[in-house]
Amino acid sequence: MRHATNRMTLLHRHGLRMPSSDIIYDEMRTAHQAYAPKTVPFVGEALSWDRALLEQHQSNQLNQLVNHARQHSTLWRDRLADLPDQITLEHLTDIPVLTKRHMMDNWSEFLTIPDVTLDDAYEHLAGLAEDRYFKERCHLIASSGSSGQPALFLYDWDGWAGCTRAIGRYGPYLAQHYPDWKNPTGPSANVGADRASHMTIAMASTFGYDQNQIPVTLPLEDIVRKLNALQPVRLSGYPSIMLLLTEEAAAGRLQIAPEVIQPSSEPLTPEIRDAITQTWQPSIMNIWGCSEACAVGNSFGPEPGMYINEDLVIVEAVDHHNQPVAPGTTGDKVLLTNLFNKAQPLIRYELTDRINLMREPSPVGFPFRRIDDIEGRTDDVFLYLQDGLTVPVHPILFRGPIAKTAGLLEFQVFQTQKGANVHYLSERPIDENNLIQRVAESLQRVGLHQPLIQCEHQSALKRGGVGKLRRFHALRTHDVD
């Protein structure tokens, strides 16, 4: 990788013509693919550790992360000033909780890479049509998240490679512990994001995953047509789109027989799990994925729940007051520490996911704790009636334009009969006309004619009885006409 960077520098210095950006990108991702297996080498052996060895590993990784943050970020140095030079897991609760709002308000100061500004980041995202490196060796991910607050996450070369290490780590153990569990080879499809700023798309491009990407932003009939032509044996995507696909299969329009279904990026509710099982009887490989740390948890064979990848992250299930909740009790939120990405240290970072740590130990001897399938409702898919047909609109059609809007802090989207109202909080004036145009164009691409989009700045957003922010508010079925 250093060779490729030096070659580009020499060309520029001598006034020679630079190779095209596509060639440079291909060279860099090829180098990254070769490098990725060398990162976090402990992944291959961690599943054979005992709990004591795992916790010692977490202490060592946390100590390295904290010291790196203190050395390269003045803001982290101040936040961690009261900690001793050498820390262990016992010191974790002495570190203040980091909220998304505070992180985004001080985004550049929380980075350990110099000379990167929020304006640089938004400029990169605005021009991002395909996966590209940011600041030569980094990747930038945009997410609106489950809390309704847009956020940006910066991964350095090692951190981005580290994202790959939890994906597929359990596959080699399936044959050993559950030989009857379906694990086929053949065509694979992902019905998900359509933008390179989304982690799934960026990782698939960088690391060359053999997976057919079908944008969830396509009209539903186009998604069905592509899947029928491909006949995937593995199908991944948002649980909310999986539910729509089961309905298409029941109607006879979708005629596929996937053997493995891999939901991610949204909660897999019992209702959606049941619909998938009744439709295809597949193996279901659930993933707890997020932009902050990629695959935080993975299911394993027929076992209930998901294993937390605790060699790569530290997960705390806490209540509203950031106090730990006991196994068997559903927490109000999660405090996440990413141990492998040092470009943007996330230490006790607040996620709004509600998890329940399982009491039972691993039946196959893994040292990692398990959680039940994550609680919480899947984002509502908006359904519009048009010309006698139903046009489904997935929340990602709103998330993309919103996540790329500089200055926007939080949002909610309310469906209307002809479009949607976007309510938002901002730290400074935003370009409402541009946001309205980009959202309208997204809805038009899935077949909604002349959508009426409105933006309204708010002093506060509407919250539920327990204070939880619900981002997407769909009309009830009888209200859509």
Q: Name the one residue in this structure whose structure tokens are 């998900």.
A: 192
Output 468 or 303, whichever has higher pLDDT: 303
Please work out, in degrees rounded to the nearest 5, the angle formed at the alpha carbon of residue 220 by the alpha carbons of 216 and 226: 80
C-beta of residue 135 within 8 angstroms of C-beta of residue 117: no
* Host H or E run for residue 456: strand 452-457
In sequence order, what E strands does 20-177 have?
139-143, 151-155
Report residue 275 as tokens. Answer: 């619909």
Phi, psi of 294 (to 5 degrees): 65, -125
At 238 the pLDDT is 85
Residue 452, pLDDT above cutoff 80: yes
C-beta of residue 162 within 8 angstroms of C-beta of residue 312: yes
Q: What is the pLDDT of residues 393-432, one digit of tens each?
A: 888 788 878 878 888 877 889 999 999 999 998 878 999 9
Q: Determine whether 53 is exposed, middle or buried from the number of CB atoms within 10 Å of its CB (0-12, 13-18, 19+).
A: middle
At 146 the pLDDT is 56
DSSP state, residue 330: B
Sequence ranges of the domains in the chain: 382-479
Residue 181, pLDDT above cutoff 60: yes
| CB within 8 Å of 170: residues ≥ 6 apart | 47, 298, 300, 307
At 7 the pLDDT is 44
C-beta of residue 177 within 8 angstroms of C-beta of residue 301: yes
| CA 205/CA 28 separation, integer angstroms | 12
Question: 8-17, 61-70, 421-430 — which is least confidently predicted?
Answer: 8-17
At 14 the pLDDT is 39
At 469 the pLDDT is 58
At 44 the pLDDT is 81
Largest CA distance in the chain: 68
Q: Name the one residue in this structure whose structure tokens are 């956020």.
A: 151
| CA 312/CA 293 separation, integer angstroms | 8
Residue 137, pLDDT above cutoff 60: yes
At 376 the pLDDT is 55
Nearest alpha-carbon partner for 293 in 190, 404, 199: 199
pTM of the model: 0.78
Phi, psi of 239 (to 5 degrees): -55, -35
At 1 the pLDDT is 42
Work out the percent of the chain whose per-residue pLDDT is above 70: 91
Tallying the residues shown for the chain, one arrives at: 481
Please work out, in degrees rounded to the nearest 5, the angle formed at the alpha carbon of residue 443 by the alpha carbons of 149 and 474: 60
| Mean pLDDT along residues 38-66 | 94
**Identity (one letter) of the amino acid at 359?**
R
Q: What is the pLDDT of residues 229-272, one digit of tens each?
A: 999 999 999 887 888 899 899 999 999 999 999 998 778 877 78
Q: What is the pLDDT of residues 80-96, one digit of tens each?
A: 999 999 999 999 999 99
Which of 3.30.300.30, 3.20.20.100, 3.40.50.300, 3.40.50.1110 is the CATH number of 382-479? Answer: 3.30.300.30
